Amino acid sequence: MRNGEGAPIVKRIFDPVHRFIELSEPEARLLDTPAMQRLRRLRQLGLAYLAFPSAEHSRFTHALGALAMGTRAFDQLVAVGREFFADEADIARQRRLLRAALLLHDIGHGPFSHACEAILGIRHEARTEAILLTPELSARIAELDVDPHEVLALILGERSGRYPALRELVSGPNLDADRMDYLLRDAYFTGVAGGHYDTDQLIASLRLIERDGEMVLGIDSRGVVALESFVLARYMMFASVYFHHTTRMFERILQDVLRQLWPDPHCLDDIDAFLDWDDFRVLRDVSTVHTDAARALRERQRVYAIAAEFNAERDLRAYTACERALRTRFGDENVWADAQEQVLHRLPLAADTNEPTVWVRGPGGIVDARDASDLIAKLVGKAYWRKLFVVRAQVDVAQARRLCAPIAALR
């Protein structure tokens, strides 16, 4: 059996989201490296399993899912836009490059991802570059017959790369295979129905569009409804899962624990030392830390209580007034204002209307998705997501909520 580019398939992996995922021999060897196997021990959704008990899936399965989704998208682009590729060798080369980048795109994540980055101060993209330069990974990437620098450029989203459409499929802001997979996967394992979208129609609608002298990823106008379902799914998952108050609360507690485990923020600067850590090791070592934060994490003790939530707000005045009232009444030390900006990339399109959009090609020409769909236009633009927590042991939670309720009602 051979895959779409003629390479023999040596491994078929069954996946609950994409069914069988097929790998070539060099891809299978890449998958077997310790750095890739480590992704099995990194949860895709961090501590979300404390709110959604089935959310135990890993970055390893997501990497495979992104590969599967990206391959489907690429094959569709070839089928409807053969004229944009030089020859069969060019198609095969780009396909190998895309698949390598998608397999490796999360390899630089640390334990519990964003919590780890907040403590150690190094973004996972920088870790990715260091890991790809290790001798073993370099050798495995060479076996794929791709340029490792081009793989890294796709993962980092470098605009100077030779393949802008591939860049969008790997790390683009809107139609990337990363998001296409994690939406379906996260919805499946959390049980949140709102995360599903019309996958088949969205993939079938993908097109290569030439705009301002550059090849970009867009959709055919017949796929606007599918794009709407995709945008709405991303919005719903952000509201229901990615910014869930229980997850956010325990991530804050986890950061306190990580500071105790890693008192020196530079202790994992060395890439080999960094790769020795995963979620399992953190949870194991938490048992040796005897602090209130570690105990709360081990025993799922809810240190904080939600006093008020402000989701997708266009105006921060009510939020600011509630925060001020809580701090005045209960003291700064007993109030936590959560504004987790680094997860906002999960929102549909861009929070800034000047950022890249999805282009739609129809009979009348190429238009912005925000002009093609009233629904999309209403879901994008600048919006704020905030939560206000209070310390349970020090604050009357019911009183805190009563304090905020009339202020929030004025929105």
In the numeric block, which tokens belong to residue 89?
A: 């060798």
Q: What per-residue confidence (pLDDT) applies to 308? A: 95
Q: What are 207's strand-pairing partners?
A: 218
Q: What per-residue confidence (pLDDT) applies to 342? A: 45
Q: Are 278 and 42 in contact (CB under 8 A)?
A: yes
Q: What per-residue confidence (pLDDT) applies to 4? A: 55
Q: What per-residue confidence (pLDDT) applies to 343? A: 45
Q: Are 61 and 15 in contact (CB under 8 A)?
A: yes
Q: What per-residue confidence (pLDDT) applies to 352? A: 54
Q: What per-residue confidence (pLDDT) applies to 346? A: 45
DSSP secondary structure of 94-109: HHHHHHHHHHHTTTT-
Q: What per-residue confidence (pLDDT) applies to 311? A: 84
Q: Which fold has domain 9-191?
A: Hypothetical protein af1432 (1.10.3210)
Helix or strand run (H / E) with residue 310: strand 304-313
Residue spans of the domains in the chain: they are 9-191
Residue 29 CA to residue 53 CA, distance in Å, equals 32
Q: What per-residue confidence (pLDDT) applies to 268? A: 96
Angle, CA 220 vertex, CA 100 and CA 201 arms, to 5°: 70
Q: Are 329 and 402 in contact (CB under 8 A)?
A: no
The parts of the chain modelled with pLDDT lower than 70 are 1-7, 340-356, 381
Residue 139 CA to residue 128 CA, distance in Å, equals 15
3-state secondary structure 47-82: HHHHCCCCCCCEHHHHHHHHHHHHHHHHHHHHHHCH
